[in-house]
Structure 1
């Protein structure tokens, strides 16, 4: 189950709730929404460790991506991950994201600049 807030127009923040307990178990964020000729955003997501491996994030992101493409009208979603994050890599591949390259020293995490793999998903329905 998801709830969202899109008041700013530059981001969509979605929360994933457990149907059984109502607790927040994860989130996904579509940020840096750019309109004009670009029509794109960045995707970030996280899930509580104990819920990993159950297909919950794939289910949530499938619905969220459809919303971003169909309702928000974006053309491109970009998602980046650290090379050692195999779970994120596999999830993004299953969702149809394609690898576009490697960004060296992309983000500073806990005081260290780390490389990230760059991927994207194109809304081919809106290409016309």
Structure 2
């Protein structure tokens, strides 16, 4: 899962709402069991967002992606339909377990 927000719109809850909608679509409409989201360890805002959405850290992938000519580590996270349902108190929409 990935997203982008223009700088002037950051901090308004748009990323949370977009991700929340994408998660519900993936788990309910597409009936996916698992969603993954990865981020660079220095991206503390994304870490906080994913935690708020219920994603669970699975580990660190060393030299995961080449960005601007440099191999960068990424934190690996995931959210299953079961985890989503148990974490729904933080979400604005329902979660579904398949």
TM-score bin (small chain): 0.7 to 0.9
TM-score, structure 1 as length reference: 0.64
Structure 1 residue 76 and structure 2 residue 37: aligned?
Answer: no
TM-score between both structures, scaled by the size of structure 2: 0.83
The residue that corresponds to 1:123 in the other structure is 81
The aligned residue for residue 62 of structure 2 is: 104
Structure 2 unaligned segments of length 5 or more: list them.
Answer: 83-96
Q: Which has the higher contact order (CA 8 A, sep 6+)?
A: 2
RMSD: 0.6
Task: Determine if the alignment matches structure 1 residue 48 to structure 2 residue 6.
Answer: yes
Query: Which residue of 23, 27, 51 maps to 1:93?
Result: 51
Deviation at 1:51, TM superposition (A): 0.8
| Structure 1 residue 102, shift from structure 2 partner | 0.1
SS at 2:36 equivalent: strand
Q: Which has the larger radius of gyration?
A: 1
Task: Tell me the number of residue pairs that the alignment of Structure 1 and Structure 2 aligns.
Answer: 84
Higher helix share: 2
Take 1:119 and 1:96, find their aligned partners in 2: how far apart are those partners?
Answer: 10
